[in-house]
Structure 1
Amino acid sequence: MNFVKRAGMSLGARKSKSAALLAIFVVICTLLLGGFLLQAAAARQEADARRTIGVDATVKKKGLTAVLADRLGASELVYRYNPELPVRAGARGLTPLTSDAPKPGDAGAGKKARGPLAVNGVRDSGMLLPFSYGSTKITAGRGITPEDAGRDVAVIERRLADRNHLKVGDTIHVRSADDADDTDTDTDTDDTDDAETVPLKVVGVFQNPTQDPTRWTAPHKLPGNALYVPMSTAQKLGAGTAAVSEAVYKVGSPKQAERLRAEAEHLLGGGGFDFRVNAKAYKDQVRPVQRVGAFAGLIVWVIALAGTLILGLIVTLRIRERRAELGVLLAMGEKKWKLIGQHAVEVAAVALPAIALAALAGSLAGQPTGDALLGRRDDKPAAAAGVPDAGIAPPTVRVEPATVGKVAGLGLGISLVATVIPGIGILRLHPRSILTDTE
């Protein structure tokens, strides 16, 4: 008789024991699937955290230019970066804010005025600390993005917008700092100088929570006179200014930050080189996710080992109980490998429905379990410690065919190992010894 058919008949004849074996296999496969699902969810959440939180590396060096900053930003380690180029500018047809306090008689005496507007050339305003922390917010429109490179656009402060009745879509005119008058708000005059006038389209309005100083303050130092523009626009207004104050690079992990340091030293040289890494947000929010992923991997291996041992013990007991049956089959000329194959088929036939039931259980209970182990934390300790409030997105736990395939492969592997190892004892026996010693 074919040993596969014989395996089916044996399962039918031992329904209670087959049901017990099925229950054990369901538990094993469910735990295996849970481990794989947690691993996958943790990996997705960690990848998302690397993109949204990551590690900020700030580079400062005398003579750091926008070109060098862009070359370092082109590194495969960097997926977001922002150089900052501060310049001063004048205004035309635009009334800058002035201090309400009286101006001291000697304030600015003997100094050439350079313009009342503090213009900051950036590549990605969302990476600026006030915006990433959430203290400064965009109230209308949007910020400066890498797609704005080469465009003459601006994001202005709400107080300057209110003073000049500006809104998103309006156009303002600013002038390069050469010969700009810091104290004269009537910027329609002095048309004979060499200052370049640049029309800027307002694409966003932001609100800086900093209050106006109570003492007299130069216009360019007032928080309301700050503008953010693309780097190319700042270079136009800066009258050839090429050096950036600093550049911030976002990488995926502290290890990648160290690799970026080596690339920066190779590109910029080591003299007067300042490289600072802010990895607190990464450590506070990414490391727990990594620990859950490592724990899930440990679960998989522990369950695989424990499942093999348990099933191996069960198969050993089943073989001992069926020694008389094995002796008769061997006496009838049945090959020993077919006897082992029969037991392997029996266990595999139980494993397949167990895998299906485990997949069903995973689809029902996977998401709640993932939320419990990987859910976003509400205490936000990082924000309280001066770290951007960039919480990790809630986990997505989904049962995919590839994951079920892993469970099926590992489950069938467990059934094979748990059958073959105890079955080695069958290869050492002869029909006479089995039939004469069935105890």
Structure 2
Amino acid sequence: MNYLKRSRLYLTHKKGQSLLMLLIMSAILVFVLSGIIIQNAAISATNNVTKSAGTTITVSADRDKQFSKMRSSSSTTKTLTTPTVANTKIKQAGNLSTVAYYNITNTASVNASSFDAVSTSTGTSSGGMGGGMQPGGTTASAGDISVSGVSSTAHTTTFTSNEAKLVSGRNITASDANTKNVVIEKELATDNSLKVGDSITVKTTATSAKSIKLKVVGIYKAKTSSTAMPGNDPSNTIYTSYTLPASISGTVGKSSAVTYTLENSAKEKTTTKQIKNIIDSSSFSVSSDDASYQQLLQPMKNVQSFAKKIVWLVAIAGTIILGLIIILSVRTRQREIGVLVSLGESKLHIVGQLFAEMLTILIGAMVVALLLGGFVGNKVGNQLLSQQQTTSVATTSSTNGAPSGAPSGNMPGGQTGGGMRGGAMMGQTSTSAANKKALKTLNTSITPSSVIKLGGMGLVIIALAVCISAVSILRLRPKDILSGE
């Protein structure tokens, strides 16, 4: 009788034993499939994270070098000069294939003329946060209004982290270059009865003050309307194109800082090196901020590693369990095997019969695994993701109290120093940005590749299990079995 036919008859005759083997094999394959689809989902999520994390590279003045130059100067009057870089070089670096977009930053300090600046209750003055130093120039008197010039307000850290939100009109964009359009804070607008479309006038802080007429194109709401520092109310910050502060400080065609946001966070090191080659780094600090990327990436790596361990542990345990069950089964079938061998049946055919029996059970177990594996994988994967993200956020938050290495005068994301900024605030901003982009659920689904991997793992498991039990079969001698020894 053909050994394949014998395997079919044995399975139908031993229904209880066959059902037990089916349940055991199904349980093994369900967890193997769950591990496979969780691992695939984590890999896919990791690839998405590298594209959506928004790793930034900031070029700003190296304050340590500037202070060193100032102290070593032979001049009796010690002044600190902020270096600038040509916009042509900034745009050249911005054209790199790895850069998604960039935000040029310039700052200036002016005085309110046709309107009143917002005064803080804790101070005696209403000085803006940008005063004290002009890009490309020497120390200047502080005005009560800070002009923050950017390429796009929508791409600044303040707006992307929801520290500020546009409530009326529109944002500053690249098309506003060489215009006098501004976006002002809601409190400043309310106190002076200003609305979108109105014009306001400011005066420069130089000895020969010049009046500049500005047009309000948008109004934003700052999350914090006052600060503990006198004269640093964030409502006195107006956003405009980076070209306006440059014209005020006499550095037309140049800028003091720029932030590049990458298409792919994995290209951070390569892009930083390319930017350093384009922009003279002797006076500038080129630093990257991939905190959000790392915070988003770590949970994915942990989930991927855990899923890989599930697959291997279940596969090894399954092989051992099935091997032991088959060995026990062979012991109960010794007389059957002895009769077959005495009739001239090859021992390899008997081993083949066991493999055929297990292969039939494997096919049924795969059907069960495909029905339940997706559900189990989805539940386990998302629970694991939630736990890993909670751990990652807690770990990151515990380190955010340390001051940031970025100079307070030029913050990453196109921001300038002031009451709303600082090392701790930057840490909180990075954390909140990462939390906003964090993946909430894993996209677990059964793909053709998952089915192929499952089938391959199943075949390996039953092959190893049968090989383990084959040792006892090959040792059997018909005479010993039939004689009852």
Match of 2:321 among 310, 326, 337: 310
Structure 1 residue 69 and structure 2 residue 115: aligned? no
Given that 1:96 and 1:116 are in contact with CA atoms closer than 8 Å, whether structure 2 keeps it comes out as: no
For residue 299 of structure 1, the aligned residue among 289, 295, 310 is 310
CA contact (8 A) 1:280 1:387 kept: no
Aligned match for 2:390, one of 358, 366, 377? 377
Counterpart AA for 1:128: T
Alpha-carbon spacing, 1:97–1:434, altered in 2? closer, same or farther (3 Å): farther
1:28 paired residue number: 28
- Go from structure 1 to structure 2 and tell me whether the alpha carbon gap of 1:434 and 1:209 turns closer, same or farther (over 3 Å shift): same
What is the SS of the residue equivalent to 1:387?
Answer: helix
Q: What displacement does 1:208 show? A: 5.9
Given the superposition, is the C-alpha separation of residues 335 and 372 from structure 1 closer, same or farther in structure 2, using an over 3 Å criterion?
Answer: same
Any residues of structure 2 matched to 1:385-400 within 5 Å, and which? 385=400, 386-388=427-429, 389-390=432-433, 391=435, 392-400=438-446
Residues 178-210 of structure 1 deviation map (CA, whole Å, 9 limit, x = unaligned): 99985768x5xxxxxxxxxx9x68256343634
Question: What residue is the counterpart of 1:125 in the other structure?
Answer: 153
Residue in 1 aligned with 2:456?
409
2:102 and 2:23 map into 1 onto residues whose CA distance is 54
Q: Report if aligned partners of 1:114, 1:181 keep a CA contact under 8 Å in 2.
A: no
2:162 equivalent among 103, 109, 134? 134
Quote the Cα distance in structure 2 between the aligned partners of 1:24 and 1:340.
21
Select 1:272's aligned residue among 258, 274, 283: 283
1:179-198 equivalences in 2 (<5 Å): 187=213
Task: Indicate conservation of the 8 Å contact 2:8/2:357, yes or no.
Answer: yes
Q: How many correspondences in the alignment? A: 413
2:359 — aligned with what?
348
8 Å CA contact retained: 1:54, 1:250: yes
The code of the aligned residue for 1:209 comes to T
Question: Equivalent pairs: percent with the same residue?
Answer: 23
Q: Extract unaligned runs of 5+ from structure 1.
A: 188-197
- Partner AA of 1:342 in structure 2: Q
Q: Distance in 2 between matches of 1:210 and 1:259?
A: 40
Secondary structure, in 3 states, of the residue corresponding to 1:395? coil
SS in 1 for 2:58: strand
Task: In structure 2, give the amino acid aligned to 1:28.
Answer: I
Larger mean Cα displacement after TM superposition, 274-283 or 23-32: 274-283
1-structure distance, mates of 2:238, 2:126? 24
Give 1:11 shift: 1.0
TM-score scaled by length of structure 1: 0.73
SS in 2 for 1:307: helix
> Residues 311, 213 of structure 1: CA spacing in aligned structure 2 closer, same or farther, 3 A cutoff?
closer
CA distance in 2, matches of 1:44, 1:400: 13
Deviations 1:231-289 (A, max 9, x none): 57877888762333222344599875444433333333442341334444455554244
Inter-partner Cα distance in structure 2 for 1:438 and 1:59: 87
Q: Describe the shift of the 1:296–1:211 C-alpha distance in structure 2 as closer, same or farther (beyond 3 A).
A: same
Change (3 A) 1:226 1:138: same
Secondary structure at the aligned position of 1:377 is classed as helix
Q: Calculate the aligned-residue CA RMSD, in Å.
A: 4.7
Report whether the alignment pairs 1:202 with 2:217.
Answer: yes
After superposition, the C-alpha distances for 1:291-323 in whole angstroms (9 at most, x for unaligned) are 232122122112222222222232333334334
One-letter amino acid matched to 2:17: K
Corresponding residue of 2:76? none
Out of 236-245 and 315-324, give the one that drifted further. 236-245
Q: SS in structure 1 opposite 2:390?
A: coil
Aligned residue for 1:195?
none
Check whether the contact 2:29–2:366 (CA below 8 A) recurs between aligned residues: yes
User: Kindly tell me: are residues 30 and 117 of structure 1, through their superposed partners in 2, closer, same or farther at Cα, counting changes over 3 Å?
Assistant: same
Question: Any residues of structure 2 matched to 1:53-132 within 5 Å, and which?
Answer: 53=53, 55-61=55-61, 62-75=83-96, 77-79=98-100, 81-86=102-107, 95-98=114-117, 118-132=146-160
Which stretch of structure 1 is more off in the superposition, 111-120 or 384-393? Answer: 111-120
CA contact (8 A) 2:140 2:205 kept: no
The 1-side partners of 2:169 and 2:6 are apart by: 74
SS in 1 for 2:444: coil
